[in-house]
Amino acid sequence: SSRLQDAASGTTLTIDMENRPCHLPAAPIDARHPGFGKAFINAGDKEWGAKAHDDLLDAVDWAVSEGIAIEDKVAIMGGSYGGYATLSGITREPELYRCAVSYVGVSNLFTWIESIPPYWAPMIELFASRIGDWRTEEGKAFLTERSPLTHADKIVRPLLIGQGANDPRVKQAESDQIVVALRELERPVEYMVAPDEGHGFRKAANIEAAAEAELSFYGQVFEFTPAGDITPVEIHNEDAL
């Protein structure tokens, strides 16, 4: 699989090239990226789940037009903000990606901001201007609309979610919420929680387990048999694949 990496967001486009491994690094520059002046940075204000995601759509179009990707064999994967972008992507464009993988991704912007760790308190006003102000009724409505959880019913493609139980930045509740919603909707989803991890997987055993789970997941979706002796993941509601 080939991965187009957004260095700022941690979002990756995984491309199945007829089951031939290929790695193509690329970094779309969006309006949250530093180094291009204040006007460029400020253009990203309140654009989570909107213009901030358009670069990923452009990357898909580019990869397909260049013959690098096959149109119906593109997946999206990301962690942290990239996890949010992944969840947002499969609600905004339900048919574009063949499947998705989200690690420690935000599913509900309102509950996420309410649960941020104390050491982020000095940045609270920045959150309000960059993402949305949860302290006003208008802001609450805005954040709700931009939250993937609000549009969970639009998710139709298989989704794998990874979460650290001790994550102080994106609490486990963010992943729990979207998984519960999708299971109630009987959509194909698998959930892996590492009880000894925080914001992302850091321990070798957990990294290996997550990589194997992701490979098994892709194998089931793209219909190939992964090499090696790996434990297959069981996708909830896999009949909907």
Catalytic residue numbers?
80, 167, 199
Task: Write the DSSP string, 172-218.
Answer: HHHHHHHHHHHHHTT--EEEEEETT-BSB--SHHHHHHHHHHHHHHH
Helical (H) or strand (E) element with 199: none
Number of Cβ within a 10 Å radius of residue 126? 10
Cβ atoms 80, 105 nearer than 8 A:
yes
Looking up tokens 């979002």 gives 11
Rg of the chain (C-alpha set):
17
- Which helix or strand (DSSP H or E) is residue 153 part of? none
Burial class, 121, CB count within 10 angstroms (exposed 0-12 / middle 13-18 / buried 19+): exposed
